[in-house]
Structure formats: C-alpha cells, structure tokens
Amino acid sequence: MRMGNVAMRGRTFEMIGKKILFEKNAVRNRCFVGLLLALLAISSGTAKAQQEPLRVGIKQVSPFVIKGANDSYSGISIELWEEIAEILDVEFQFVEKVNTNQLIEAIENRELDLAISAITMTSDRLKRIDFSNTMFNSSVSVAVLSQPPGMMDTLFFFFNSWLLNVLLTLAMILVVIGTMVWLFEMRRNSEFPRNPVRGIGQGIWWASTTMTGVGYGDTVPRSTPGRLLGVVWMFIGVLMISSFTATIASSLTSENIRSHVGGLGDLSRLKVGAVHGENPLTLLRAQGIIAQEYDTLNHALKALANGDLDAMVHDRPLIQYQLHNDPDLAAAVGLSNITVRKEEYGIAVGMPADPNQRNTLVDEINASLIRVKSSGRYDEIVGQYLGL
C-alpha cells in the first residue's frame, strides 16, 4: 500500500514538473514571437523611411541655383548635389524657398532634411543647424555706381604713386634708347652732336617723338645700326603707348569706383542696399548700418543702376554673375576692391535628434564632397558657370 502511494505521488510530481516546464516554454515562445514581431515592425519602418526621398531645400540664386523651364534646375549647387546624391545612392526632391532664412527655419522644423544653395556658414547658424565642409569660398563685396571720371579725379590720379613709378620707368627707357642712338649716329650724323649732354638730349628727343608717333623728322638716324634701332623702337613704342593708355583709362575708372567707398565705415553715410533674408544684411546691421532691403539681388542692382542707391552689399560671385550676364547693368555698376568679409558656403543639414550623437548625414555628405573634389568634377562644375 505504501509502495502504491509513493508511486502515485511520484507520478503527481512528474505531472506537475511537466506542467511547469510547458508553461516556461510557452512564456519563452511568446517572448520570442513578440520580439520577432517588434523587429519586423522596426525593419518595416526603417525600410519605409529609406524609401522616402530626401527633402532638399533650395533658393534661386544664380549661378548656384538657376530655375529653368518646367521647374527644372541647374547651377553650381544643383549639379554638385546631384553628384553627391549619386555617390550616396539616395532619392531626393527639391523644395524651393524664397530666401536663406526660410531654408534655415525649415531645416530646424524638420520640414527639410538639408539645403544647398549659397548658404554662408556663420556662428549663429551653427547653433541652429549643422553644416558640411566648405562647398565654396566666397566674400562679401560692395557694388557701386560707375560714373565717368571727372576733371578732379583725373588731376588727383596724376599724383598717384603708381603713375609716378610708371613715368620714372619710362624716362629711364628713353634715356637708354636716346644714348644708344647717339652712340650709333654721333660719328656720321651731324644731327647728333658729339657733345654727350647735347647728343644724348637729342637722342632722347628722337626716342620720344618716335615712340609717340609724332615723328617731326627734324632728327633721323642715318647709319644702319641706328635705323635698325629705329625700326625696333617704333614697334615697341606703339605697344608701350597702347598699353599705357589702356592702363590709365582702366585705373581712372577703378579710382572713380573706389572714391565712393574707402571702407566699411564709409557705408554709414551712403544709401546702401542689401537683399532681404541674406547674411550681408545681418553683417551691416551688426555694424549699425541701416540698409534698404530688396527681395532679389537683381532688384537691388537695378536700384543701384537707377541711382536709388549709392552702394549695394552682397556676395561677390553672385554680383559678378549678374553683371556678366547683363551688359547694360555692367555698364552702370562696378565692383569696388573692398572685401567686407571672407565667407564660406556649406550644405545645411538638420541637427540629429540626440545632440550627443554624430550627424551621420553630414559625415556621408563630407565624404562624398571630398570624392567629387578629388575627381576634378568639382572644378568642371565651377568653371562651367564662373569660368574659373
């Protein structure tokens, strides 16, 4: 009897053990299935996210972003991004904004994944968004109204140290040529006296009249070496006078342009224009300079050409491109030699959700940008639009 009870209790314990083991396996299976479903959901969400194209913000600013027919785009920034996107093997769509401020705000609000145009990297913007490595080196310059030089501009120009150096060099050349022709002619030509002072003086007179093309004919070389020197000097003189005249005319125009603005401080007493929402406007405000705001660069330059402004401050390559493609505007407006500030353009990217994490998109863009530059494709793109 006791043996039967023992066997029964053994079977009971065995059944209880099997039940516990079954329940453990069931719990383990449910956890495994739940984990598998979670991984599938995450994988599905990731795949879905990868399928969504990157939202790339742009703004129209020639020659970096140029809008063509049927909402097509071209330009330095557009072609550069297309090269980067091909390396990264990502789909994208362009989203156009009016100005840089709108692009920055859209990236902050996660409406855009990145933005590429002519976006200056500044310390204030780096607090709000991330940037790639330098995409393009630029500078902020001053465009002014170009006017024909007046009488006073011409008079002051002749006291310029550069012109005095040129005249001194020319005088030395005339002395050398005058001395050479005197040495060739003094024994056979009575028009060149043997006295060194009078003879060399006569030689300088001959060199001057020959160079300027006046050629009075009162003094001419008669020996073969003297005439050979005369032929050579005639051609050299024509080239020198042409170059000298062109240089003076160009310098007079440059002096007239520079006379309006000698530095950033001079802008405070002039009517200055800038483009709304762009970094040059912020730069002027930081200097306490009040500027008239315009929607586009073209409007600002036309206002300058019409005499509504005395100066216009903007990025130098953008002004150069506008003047290059508009001869009428180029005839009325010129760039001064003043560089307000050196600047660097970058590709703007949204901050990562966790500030302590690396921005993987920035790292990928930087690596691709290096590949584009090292391949020579970058220089081809820039040269196509700026001729550099």
Which CATH number fits the domain that encloses residue 70?
Answer: 3.40.190.10
pLDDT confidence of residue 191: 87
* Rounded average pLDDT over 195-220: 87
Quote the tokens at residue 267.
Answer: 């802008």
| 340 pLDDT tier (thresholds 50, 70, 90) | confident
| Comparison of pLDDT for 192 and 260, the residue scoring more | 192
Q: At residue 271, does pLDDT exceed 80?
A: yes
195-199, 218-222, 250-254, 275-279 — which is least confidently predicted? 250-254
Residue 294 shares a structural domain with residue 364: no
Report the pLDDT value the prediction gives residue 258, as an integer from 0 to 100.
46
Instruction: Examine the domain organization and report whether 97 and 201 are in the same domain.
Output: no
Residue 120 · residue 138 · CB < 8 Å: yes
Residues 236 and 307 in one domain: yes
**Coil, helix or strand at residue 66:** strand
Residue 7 has pLDDT above 80, yes or no: no
More confident: 113 or 259? 113
Helix/strand/coil for 344? strand
pLDDT confidence bin for 36, thresholds 50/70/90: very low
Q: Are 223 and 105 in the same domain? A: no
What was the pLDDT predicted at 51? Answer: 61
Give residue-wise pLDDT tens across range 70-114: 889 999 999 999 999 999 999 999 999 988 999 999 999 999 999
Q: Pick 133 or 269 by higher pLDDT.
A: 133
- Name which of 93, 94, 106, 112 is nearest 53 in CA terms: 93
Number of domains within the chain: 3
Do residue 143 and residue 108 come from a single domain?
Answer: no
- Is residue 5 pLDDT above 60, yes or no? no
Residue 337's pLDDT band (cuts 50, 70, 90): confident
> Residue 250 — pLDDT band, cuts 50, 70, 90?
low
CA distances from 120 to 30, 315, 344 (A): 55, 10, 6
Q: Is the pLDDT of residue 15 over 60?
A: no
> pLDDT digits over 229-240, tens only?
989 999 888 888
In this prediction, residue 381 carries a pLDDT of 93
User: What mean pLDDT value characterizes the chain?
Assistant: 81
Strand positions, DSSP E, the chain: 54-59, 66-67, 73-74, 92-97, 114-115, 130-131, 136-145, 272-275, 291-294, 311-315, 333-345, 348-349
Tell me the pLDDT band of 369, cut-offs 50, 70 and 90: very high
Picking from 369, 359, 356, the residue whose alpha carbon sits closest to that of residue 113 is 359
Q: Are residues 86 and 230 in the same domain?
A: no
| Same domain (yes/no): 69, 37 | no
17 and 108 part of one domain: no
Residue 4 tokens read as 């039967």
Tell me the CATH number at 186. 1.10.287.70
Domain that holds residue 160: 138-345
Position 266 scores a pLDDT of 73
- Same domain for 85 and 150, yes or no, is no
Give 117-167 pLDDT, tens digit per residue.
Answer: 999 998 899 999 999 999 999 888 888 887 554 555 555 555 555 667 778
User: Are residues 283 and 150 located together in one domain of the fold?
Assistant: yes
User: CB neighbours (10 Å) of residue 341?
Assistant: 14
- pLDDT at 341 (0 to 100): 83
What was the pLDDT predicted at 4? Answer: 47
Of all residues in the chain, the percent with pLDDT exceeding 90 is: 36
What's the average model confidence in pLDDT over 245-262?
58
239-253, 274-288, 307-321: the lowest-pLDDT one: 239-253
Do 12 and 123 lie in a common domain?
no
pLDDT at 161: 59
Whether residues 142 and 247 fall in one domain: yes
Among 37, 52, 67, the domain boundary falls at 52
Residue 168, H or E segment:
helix 161-185
What three-state secondary structure class fits 287? Answer: coil
Q: What is the pLDDT of residue 14?
A: 53
